[in-house]
Structures are given as structure tokens and as C-alpha cells.
Amino acid sequence: MIKQEPSQTASAEKSMSKYLAPLVREIPPSGIRKFFDLVSGSKDIISLGVGEPDFSTPWHVREACVYSLERGNTKYTPNAGLLELREAIAEYLYESFQLLYEPTDEVIVTIGGSEAIDLALRALIVPGDEILIPEPCYVSYSPITSIGGGIPVGIETFAKDNFKLTAESLKAAITPRSKVLILCYPSNPTGGIMTYEDWLPIAKIVEENDLIVISDEIYAELTYDQKHVSFASIPGMRDRTILVSGFSKAFAMTGWRMGYACGHRDLISAMLKIHQYTVMCAPSMGQVAALEALKNGMEEKDRMVESYNQRRRLVVKGFREIGLSCHEPQGAFYAFPSIASTGMTSDEFAQRLLFEAKVAAVPGHVFGKGGEGFLRCSYAYSVSQLTEAIDRIGNFLAKL
Amino acid sequence: MDEFKAKIIDLLKEDARRTPALIATLLGESEAEVAKAIKELEDEHIIAKYATIVNWSKVDGEKVTALIEVQITPERGRGFDAIAERIYLYPEVKSVYLMSGAYDLLVEIEGKTLKEVASFVSNKLSPIDRVLSTKTHFILKKYKQDGVIFEDHQDDHRMLISP
């Protein structure tokens, strides 16, 4: 191995940044990344900070992949994904959410839901377009909008509304340059959901203003007191909506990176062009696993959802008992308690909680407008870990 | 059994130390309702005992477990029950199952040494009237018992923070 002098490396790094595209250079690093670096240096941490299930991918799903590899299925698949998988996705969406998509040209299998969102934005954005994003929301929407040349426009949602998007706030954010609305319900980080009745006035505004909707429904299977309602299932919205989802959350398959997008064939066809020139196709082994999950994984999925539901009750009750107000999350696996009563910013609270109580959680401000004053706490942890974490947070609050 | 009691059993099977208060929180029910249901499950002997699963391979000192296939001649009028009772009353016997297939009873024995188990089989089990034959299998290693995987510490390999 050839060793480089540190000074050479440093100067090389410094001089290379001028070559970066300004759009990329100007994007700030993720607030989560910064917090991750802080956590990495600490010991004996109980974390409530992850956005992924604590279950392993069900064994039958892993086994299906292993057998497939043994049979030598390691080649490219069609660009849009294995037809059998696309058919299974279409069948699942019809049975679960009464959505009708043609598997041959209205479904595309992607590398996680993230690629699907990126493809959708790249297929739609003309530089200067405004992309409407209800916040607090998943951390990537705004940066990938900017990378695509769009202008992210955050729409604040509030705890008093259970973090639902309201027609009034959507309407107020629309300008002649508004083109796309990105929805994420059930929501990361708030756990908020939208009902059929909630969607109707939103759909009306979408239609009146000729918006295209990217609906990230990755947490659709993780709802508790009521079933998920897909925005695409609202009358008139199917062809205006690119539905994005995947296997990560429902089937505990985060590392497989298996997602999909469905929508009008003109939109999917444009996304497929970008997909085929960039990644060719999603990994074949992951597609085999995803197919097995859809065909035979529902029982296991139900068992995991029941377990999340139990833990949801535990953390919400726990936070309220130690004096943090916390709205009732109806989906995903996050609680979003308010720490406003402490007078600290979410960043300050999260950092002190980490160093003084050894509990890691994500400060709400990293999720955009309306996130300040809150803390994202995942409850994808064991009952004993959650109990210990809440005890520690309670003790921390008592000492303030 | 109703769904509520089935959920309580699932939660206690995961961890028998869970209190009625914790179970009530997890299920969104009142503590009194949960305590009442647990009492009923105990009274009906549906919850027969709260036990501890021990990974003996991590404990100093030898402990030997054997599974013994036993062929017997059933007794007129009482079938296999009378002999099963004679066998399960020995304190060395941890479990007894009536089986279909090549033999009749599967008997689990626990002892301190191989010799102790062998002695039980030859001096106590085999001489019982109507016991035709025994076949002893010593357990060399337990990988999983009652749903617990012994070698898997189930460490959390996730990053501490992620989107």
C-alpha cells in the first residue's frame, strides 16, 4: 500500500472542493448525521434513534433468497423488475388499498423507496419548480429536491392537529411555481396518519392547482387503530399520484433496499428511463426475497405490527407519566414527545440527554419546520430497553 | 380461549416476570382486568407454572439430559396412562410424552452424570412391568429450547441513529 503524507491528502481535499457542483456543495449535511457522529463516541447508550425494525427479516424470506442464489439466479432482471414481483405488488395494492395498477407498465421495482422518490423528482422537476413538503418529515425530501434543481417549500404541521396536513396550510403555500406535493403518511417522524375524510379537501386543492403528488407510503402497513388510506385511492387522484413504497418497514427488510413506485404509465415510463440508465435494475436476489415476503409474509408482518402496537402504548404512557406531552401516534414506529416545557432547543435537549442520561434520540428540528421542540423516539426496541430508556429520561427531567 | 387471554399468555411466555401493570399497558387494558385473567389462567391450570429456561452449558459442573424412547405394552382399561404415571412420578423425570410412531413414550431425564442417568434407566425404568424396551439418547448440545436460541445473544446490530 502506498502511504500518502497527511499534508498531501489534506491539500488535495481542499483543492478538490471547487470542482463540486454548487447545488451539491451548498446542501448542508444531515442533522441526523451530525448527531450520529456524537453518539458514535459515547458508551453504554440506550438508543431510541433508529428508523428501522428491531426484528430480523423473517427466516422464510431469507431462505427463499438463499435457495434462489443456490440455483444460480444472479443475473440482471428486466429494468422494471421481475414481472412476477410487479404482478404481486399490483395484486397486493388492489387487495389492501383498492388500487388498480397494470404490472407491465405502471409498476417499477426500485432500490428502496428512496430511489423511487429520487426518480420521481428527477422525472418531474424543471429547475425553479417549487416542491411542497409537509413538515416535520423524513430528512431526505428537501435535499434531493434541491439536488434536482427544485425549490423545497416546507409546510408546517402541528401537534394540535396530530401533525395532519390541513387544506388551509396547503393552500397558503401554493404559488404559480408549485408543481409537486410530497406526502409521507404514516409519518416519519411524527407517527401521524391521514384518514379518507382528511384527504378529501387536500385532493380538491391538488386538482384545482394541477399538482402532481409523490406519496411515500412506506409505513402503510404500520397503522394501529385504523387502516391506512392511500392518497392514490381518493377519487381522481390515482393518475396524479406516484405511489412509493417498499419492503423495509413492513417486512423488516431495510438492508435489502427493495422498493417500488406505481403510477400513470407516462410518469412511470419517464422514471424507468432514469432507472435503466443509472442502476439498470434492482438486485435480483432482493427481488426474490421481496416476492416471498408478499406471497407468504403477511402473518409474520401482522405479528410484528402487534408488537409495535404494544410498545407504542408503553412509550406514549411512559412519556406522559414523566411529564412530556406526547400526541398519540397512529402509524409508523415513532413517538414524537414535546420537550418544549424544558425551555431547551431540541438539539440542546438531545445532546444533554445523550451525555447526562445516556439515551440517544433524534432532535426534532432535523425534520424541518415544526420539528423544533420535539424529540423523535423510535419504539422499535425491546420492552425492557424502552422501559429503561423512559426511566432514564424521567430521571434526567427530574434533575433539570 | 379468548384473544385477550391468548395475548397475555404470549407476553408471559416471552418473559414470565412481566407484571400485570406492564401487561395492562402493553395491551391497553386495565390492570385489574389483566390480573383477573391471569388468576383465571392459573386456576384453570392453563398457566401451569412460571419456569426459567437455563443455558446449562454456561454453568460450571456437569449436567446430563437424555431422551429415552420407551416401548410398553398398554394396560387393559387404562391404556398407557398407568405406566406413564409410574414413570413421571420419579423426580429425575422432567417430561413424559405419549408418541405416535416407532415407540410409545418419550421420557426426558436429567441427572448429574452419565452414570446416574444410566443407572436410572437400568434400575428404575427398565424393570417396570410392561416396559418392553428402552433406547437412550444423550443430548450433546442444546441449540434452542422453548423458542429461545442459546447461542444467539440477539445483539442489536443497528446503527445507534438512522433516518
Which of A279, A400, A387 lies closest to A344 in space, CA to CA?
Answer: A400
A36, A140, A313 ranked by CB distance to B25: nearest: A313
Which of A371, A377, A340 lies closest to A357 in space, CA to CA?
Answer: A377
Q: How far is the alpha carbon of A236 from chain B, nearest alpha carbon, in Å? A: 32
C-alpha cell at A103: 404490472
pLDDT tens track, chain B, 163 positions? 799 999 999 999 999 999 999 999 999 999 999 999 999 999 999 999 999 999 988 887 778 999 999 999 998 888 999 999 999 999 999 999 999 999 999 999 999 999 999 999 999 999 999 999 999 999 999 999 988 888 866 778 898 888 8
10 Å Cβ neighbour count for B150? 16
Chain A residues whose beta carbon lies within 8 Å of the beta carbon of residue B158: 50, 52, 54
A139, A140, A317 ranked by CB distance to B25: nearest: A317
Pick the residue of A50, A309, A359, A388 with the most B CBs within 10 A to test the interface with B by mutation.
A50
Question: Is A242 within 8 Å of A214 (Cβ atoms)?
Answer: yes
Average pLDDT, whole number, for chain A?
A: 95
> What pLDDT, on the 0 to 100 scale, is given for residue B35?
98
**A87 φ, ψ to 5°?**
-65, -40
Nearest CA in chain B to A381: B156
Pick the residue of A44, A313, A315 with the most B CBs within 10 A to test the interface with B by mutation.
A313
> What pLDDT, on the 0 to 100 scale, is given for residue A17?
87
B25, B160, B162 ranked by CB distance to A45: nearest: B160
Over residues A189-244, the pLDDT tens digits come to: 999 999 999 999 999 999 999 999 999 999 999 999 999 999 999 999 999 999 99
Which residues, in sequence order, are CB contacts of B1 under 8 Å at separation 6+? Answer: B46
Which residues, in sequence order, are CB contacts of B122 under 8 Å at separation 6+? Answer: none
Nearest CA in chain B to A313: B26
Place of cell 441513529: B161
Chain A residues whose beta carbon lies within 8 Å of the beta carbon of residue B25: 313-314, 317
Which residues, in sequence order, are CB contacts of A51 under 8 Å at separation 6+? Answer: A188, A334, A378, B162, B163
Pairing of strands A178-184, A212-216: parallel
Q: Does A140 touch chain B (CB under 8 A)?
A: yes
pTM for this predicted structure: 0.93
A47, A54, A383 ranked by CB distance to B160: nearest: A47
Chain B residues whose beta carbon lies within 8 Å of the beta carbon of residue A45: 160
Residue type, B115: K
Name the CA dihedral angle for A297, A303, A304, A305, rounded to a multiple of 10 degrees: 100
pLDDT tens track, chain A, 400 positions? 566 655 555 555 567 888 999 989 989 888 888 888 888 878 889 999 999 999 999 999 999 999 999 999 999 999 999 999 999 999 999 999 999 999 999 999 999 999 999 999 999 999 999 999 999 999 999 999 999 999 999 999 999 999 999 999 999 999 999 999 999 999 999 999 999 999 999 999 999 999 999 999 999 999 999 999 999 999 999 999 999 999 999 999 999 999 999 999 999 999 999 999 999 999 999 999 999 999 999 999 999 999 999 999 999 999 999 999 999 999 999 999 999 999 999 999 999 999 999 999 999 999 999 999 999 999 999 999 999 999 999 999 999 9
Report how far residue A388's alpha carbon sits from residue A381's, in angstroms, rounded to the nearest whole number. 11
In angstroms and rounded to an integer, the radius of gyration of the C-alpha atoms of chain A is 22
10 Å Cβ neighbour count for B114? 13
> What pLDDT, on the 0 to 100 scale, is given for residue A10?
54
Q: Is the four-CA dihedral A285, A286, A291, A294 of positive or negative sign?
A: positive
ipTM of the predicted structure?
Answer: 0.88
Report how far residue A26's alpha carbon sits from residue A24's, in angstroms, rounded to the nearest whole number. 5
Tell me the residues of chain A between 23 and 62 that have a Cβ less than 8 Å away from chain B. 30, 32, 35-36, 39-40, 45, 47, 49-52, 54
Nearest CA in chain A to B162: A50
A49, A314, A387 ranked by CB distance to B161: nearest: A49
> What pLDDT, on the 0 to 100 scale, is given for residue A14?
62
Chain B residues whose beta carbon lies within 8 Å of the beta carbon of residue A140: 163
Tell me the residues of chain B between 111 and 140 that have a Cβ less than 8 Å away from chain A. none
Tell me the residues of chain B between 4 and 63 that have a Cβ less than 8 Å away from chain A. 11, 15, 18, 22, 25-28
Whether a cis peptide bond, with omega within 30° of 0, leads into A186 is yes
Chain B residues whose beta carbon lies within 8 Å of the beta carbon of residue A317: 25
Pick the residue of A37, A315, A383, A385 with the most B CBs within 10 A to test the interface with B by mutation.
A383
